[in-house]
Amino acid sequence: MNKVSCAACRHEIDSAAKICPYCGSDPVSGQKVVDSSALLQEMFKPRELTTTESVLEFARHRQGVVIAVSAIVLFLLLAALHQFVTIRNQREVSAAPPVPLTEVTDVSAQEQETKAQPMPDLNFQYEGRPQQMRTFIAEPGAVTPPEVVAQQQVATQTAAPTQTAAPASPTSTQPPAQSQ
């Protein structure tokens, strides 16, 4: 589509146009051919707007103004509410000294809820190397898992023959191995 510039209004329009849609003049000579407002009125026949439609149309075209006015109205409503509450509190609330809570209820017989809980006893298992130190919390009624029992039995069986094979000398200071 080729474009040309209208000689009268300098808008870019289609080169095949006989009349400029912006100003209603001949695009080549710039002479006023038709009154464009009358032509638009005839072609599009505007209808009468009701009051509600006109307000909505005004709001649609001026959104920034509507938002600003709405924000101001909201601020004024909040300020009025704050003023009402402040005046009511000054009038309704007593200036008498406060009543202690101990006169209203007996809190001395209440159980102390912030009492610290005692720490459970920690049983340590130490196999000679700090990398293998483990902490166990033994709960009452806890059962040792079968895998751990099997490992402990294998460990005691492999440790027992090596101790019996070594001759016991009276100068040896090694304590016997403890099995768990």
Burial class (CB in 10 A: 0-12, 13-18, 19+), 23: buried
CB-based contacts of 59: which residues, under 8 Å, 6+ apart?
66
Tell the burial category of 39 from Cβ atoms under 10 Å away from its Cβ (0-12, 13-18, 19+). Answer: middle
The set of residues, in sequence order, having a beta carbon less than 8 Å from that of 8 and lying 6+ positions away, is 20, 23, 25, 26, 27, 30, 31, 32
Residue 180 has pLDDT above 70, yes or no: no
Top mean-pLDDT range of 34-38, 39-43, 86-90, 99-103: 86-90
Q: Tell me, what's the pLDDT at 63?
A: 85
Give the whole-number percent of the chain exceeding pLDDT 90. 12
Report pLDDT digits (tens) over 15-24.
888 888 888 7
* Beta bridge partners of residue 14, listed in sequence order: 3
